[in-house]
Amino acid sequence: MSNHLQLQLSIAPLSCIEARRCLAHLVREGIVTLWQDQRPLGNHTCLLNLRAECTSAESPEWLSERLAATIWKEIGRFVRLTCLIDTETAEYLFSFEEPDYQRLMPAFRLRMPPLRR
């Protein structure tokens, strides 16, 4: 059964080009961005904050891990990611750091299309 989910994502550090690629990638993943903000961090990098919604039959944990892995794959490197998922019954908060990148990328490597250049 699919659930309607509200998402809040924070992703950093990103270049402005990487932030645009993340937003485009989320659209391809069926995530509808309702609001987004790019805050400068210095050295031509930014923090991307966004609120979005989607419909998914996945568990919040699986959805957050899949989104983290596909974002990392899309931009070709690790960035910190925080994901707050609000379901009809509960809120879930997931933070992804470098050890999570090392754990998740081998698991998702064969499930994702090749990196576009």
Q: What angle separates helix 98-108 from helix 60-75, to the nearest 10 degrees?
A: 90
Q: What pTM did the predictor assign?
A: 0.85
Which architecture characterizes domain 3-111 according to CATH? 2-Layer Sandwich (3.30)
Q: Vertex 36, ends 33 and 40: CA angle to 5°?
A: 150
Structure tokens at 57: 């039959």
* Domain chopping of the chain, boundaries: 3-111
Structure tokens at 12: 């950093």
Structure confidence by residue, pLDDT tens digits, 71-100: 999 999 999 999 999 998 999 999 999 999
Structure confidence by residue, pLDDT tens digits, 99-117: 999 999 988 765 544 444 4
Q: Is 92 in contact with 53 (CB distance < 8 Å)?
A: no
